[in-house]
Structure formats: C-alpha cells, structure tokens
C-alpha cells in the first residue's frame, strides 16, 4: 500500500494526502496521488518555515539526516510505483528509477516551497508534471 511518509504522515494519516493502493488502476493514478502530497502540510506555518530550513539542512549533516528520514518513505513509495510500472509494461524497461523519482518530485517541491516561477499555475501542477514525465518514461515503439 502506498501510504504516508514523514513525521507529519505518522502523526496525521491525511497530512500528506490519501493513501493509494500499490495495485491501483494505473501507475499514473498512483503517481498523481503521491505528487499531490508533495509539499502539503496541514499546518499553514510549514510553508513559511520550510524555505528557512533549506540552508540549515544543506549546512548541517544532522539536519540533512533528519530530512532524509522524513522524505525517504515517500521516496520509496514512488520507487515502488515506478518499478511496478516497469513490470506491467506501462514504463520503459530501462527506466532510471532514481532520476524519475527526482523528476516527479523536484518541480512540485521547488514551486511549493519557493514559488520559483510566479507564472506557474499550481492548481494542476502535479498533474502536469506527472503527465510530462510519464510521456518521457513510456515504452518506446
């Protein structure tokens, strides 16, 4: 079962978005649920705190380890979905799972934390990112 990750997810099962069955309708559906949870936190203060924590995580090995501990479960869920997609033929056999995980998460997280591009409409950003990345990960004829 693709479920919750990180400290917030452990405290509040709905904090990072709904759980998704790893044998769901499609890889796309599961990746959308995971992408929609990126950067979401029920505490409105989190969006103001996270940009301030980034330099600390970068400078401090201890804070970096804590950050990795928080994001690792969700990252592993994404890997599982991608591996399933390779097994079912929805994704290319030569898929670089680590790079695909980064491509699916990075743009959404960057936009949510830093509002990196003010011209991007965040309403459907997870869908646009997932669909764009999946287009490149699809099996080739």
pLDDT digits (tens, 9 = 90+) for 113-127: 888 898 988 889 999
pTM of this prediction?
0.76
Residue 82 CB-density burial (10 A; 0-12 exposed, 13-18 middle, 19+ buried):
buried
The b-or-e profile of 113-135 (16+ CB within 10 A means b, else e) is beeeeeeeeeeebbebbbeebbe
Distance, first Cα to last Cα, the chain? 31
pLDDT digits (tens, 9 = 90+) for 1-55: 344 333 333 333 333 434 444 456 899 999 999 998 887 766 777 767 777 788 8
């Amino acid at each position: 079962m693709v479920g919750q990750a990180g400290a917030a997810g452990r405290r509040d099962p709905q904090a990072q978005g709904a759980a998704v069955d790893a044998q769901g309708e499609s890889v796309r559906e599961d990746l959308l649920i995971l992408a929609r949870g990126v950067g979401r936190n029920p505490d409105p203060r989190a969006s103001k705190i996270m940009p301030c924590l980034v330099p600390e995580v970068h400078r401090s090995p201890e804070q970096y380890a804590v950050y990795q501990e928080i994001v690792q479960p969700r990252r592993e869920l994404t890997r599982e979905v991608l591996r399933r997609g390779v097994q079912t033929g929805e994704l290319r056999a030569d898929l670089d799972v680590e790079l695909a995980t980064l491509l699916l998460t990075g743009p959404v997280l960057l936009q949510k934390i830093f509002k990196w591009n003010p011209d991007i409409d965040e309403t459907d950003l997870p869908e646009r990112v997932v669909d764009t990345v999946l287009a490149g990960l699809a099996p080739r004829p």
